[in-house]
Amino acid sequence: MKLRLLEVVAMSIEALFAPFSLKSLKLNNRFVMAPMTRSFSPGGIPTAEVAEYYRKRAAGEVGLILSAGTHFAGT
C-alpha cells in the first residue's frame, strides 16, 4: 500500500514538469505563479521593481506567470 502511494505521488510530481498545451498556449511545465504584486505598483503604474520581480520569476522557468491587474481612471 505504501509503495503504491509513493508511486502515485512520484507520478504526480513528474506531471508538474511535463509540458502542457491548450490551443495556442504552450508551456514548458505546469507551474503557475499567481499574481503577487498588487500593492507593489503605486498609483496602479508598474515600476522597474515590478518588472525586475517578474524577470526573476521568469528566469526560474515558471511555466506561466499571471501578472497583477491594475486599474485605470475612466474619463
Mean pLDDT of 57-66: 88
Which of 41, 71, 69, 63 minimizes the C-alpha distance to 53? 41
Residue whose C-alpha cell is 504526480 = 12
Residue 31 lies in a domain: yes
Top pLDDT among 58 and 10 is at 58
Is the predicted pLDDT of residue 46 greater than 90, yes or no? Answer: no
Does 17 fall in a domain? yes
| Domain total in the chain | 1
Please check whether residue 24 lies inside any domain of the structure: yes
Cell of 27: 508551456
Which comes out higher in pLDDT, residue 36 or 70? 36
**pLDDT tens digits along 12-41:** 888 899 999 999 999 999 999 888 776 777
- Tell me if 38 is assigned to some domain: yes
Predicted local distance difference test score (pLDDT) of residue 69:
66
CB 35 within 8 A of CB 69: yes
Q: Residue 21 sits in which domain range? A: 2-65
CA distances from 12 to 27, 37, 48, 56, 63 (A): 17, 29, 37, 26, 16
